[in-house]
Amino acid sequence: MKRILIVDDEKDIREILRDLLEDLGEVLGVENGALALAQMQSSHFDLIVSDYNMPALNGMQLLKKMNEIGIKTPLIWITGRSTKDLVVDAWKEGVFDYIEKPFDLEQVRKSVITALSIETGSAEEDSRGSESSTAKVKMNVEISEVWQERALTRASLLGLSLDAYVLHLIKRDHGVDP
């Protein structure tokens, strides 16, 4: 079962997101980045959905701490604070997605499903036969299209070609210089 950690100082937002995502796995909510970090250090999560503006570690501080201690769990930011510099910094630190408030629930759900699918490698073997295989191929194509759109946007914001951005990701994620 997938485990999703919701990090937001607003209880109502945590509850809305929990209700939206509970059919995708176990959803736990905490009210700040410090509590989230403590949870991540004691338990595995497949995805983090976090606000940016919070007490006791904001979203960027949380992401940097995760990177410092080697937690590679994908993180999706949902925030009302949006500047080009913040978005670029977030992508440089490895945020999976960045969604602005007020947010569309379907957009959040689609991003979460994509992150979870990429994390698990949705091409795992399945005993349900060719219909399932066809669905997996379609999902992989959709994930690829979403990834390409995001990669092109990120590359242009960073002033890089798509090739240079992909090389940057390989070096960042795998520690090799291709």
Using H for helix, E for strand and C for coil, what is the string for the chain? CCEEEEECCCHHHHHHHHHHHHHHCEEEEECCHHHHHHHHHHCCCCEEEEECCCCCCCHHHHHHHHHHHCCCCCEEEEECCCCHHHHHHHHHHCCCEEEECCCCHHHHHHHHHHHHHHHHCCCCCCCCCHHHHHHHHHHHHHHHHHHHHHHHHHHHHHCCCHHHHHHHHHHHHHCCCC
| pLDDT tier for residue 47 given thresholds of 50, 70 and 90 | very high
Model-level pTM?
0.70
Q: Is the pLDDT of residue 133 over 60?
A: no
Task: Select the highest-mean-pLDDT range: 1-10, 72-81, 84-93, 124-133.
Answer: 1-10
Q: What is the mean pLDDT of the chain?
A: 78
Which domains does the chain carry? 1-104 (3.40.50.2300), 121-178 (no CATH)
